[in-house]
Amino acid sequence: MVVIELNQVRLRAFHGVYEGEKLTGSEYEVNVRVGYEEGDSTFDDLKNTINYVEILDIVKQRMRIPTGLLEKVADSIIRKIRHQYPFSTEISISIYKLDAPVENFQGKLGVTLLKKFDG
């Protein structure tokens, strides 16, 4: 299995259930892992693999759409990746809010969603 990874992608977005989050936005960190079976690939053509630049574009486009829950954002990113790369067998995404509006909290809060697919 080959796994394409995007790690610590930093973006500003306007997700959240609280009104203030929708107005001021937050900094987010996104990690994506997309796995596929390489079969007898010789890894000499981009069309035989998953293009990480296209994965990054999918993430950026979806993160621009304000959404209440990060679970919904993660699910829609996974669906789009799977649609574009139907041969993917496993997709995992973590989305962290780096400056969450939680009193007396330092760190990052987030969600991870993992989906596995049959061939």
Number of Cβ within a 10 Å radius of residue 108:
15
119: pLDDT strictly greater than 70: no
Q: What are residue 95's DSSP bridge partners?
A: 30, 111
Higher pLDDT residue, 25 or 54? 54
Q: What are residue 109's DSSP bridge partners?
A: 97
Structure confidence by residue, pLDDT tens digits, 67-87: 999 999 999 999 999 999 999
49: pLDDT strictly greater than 80: yes
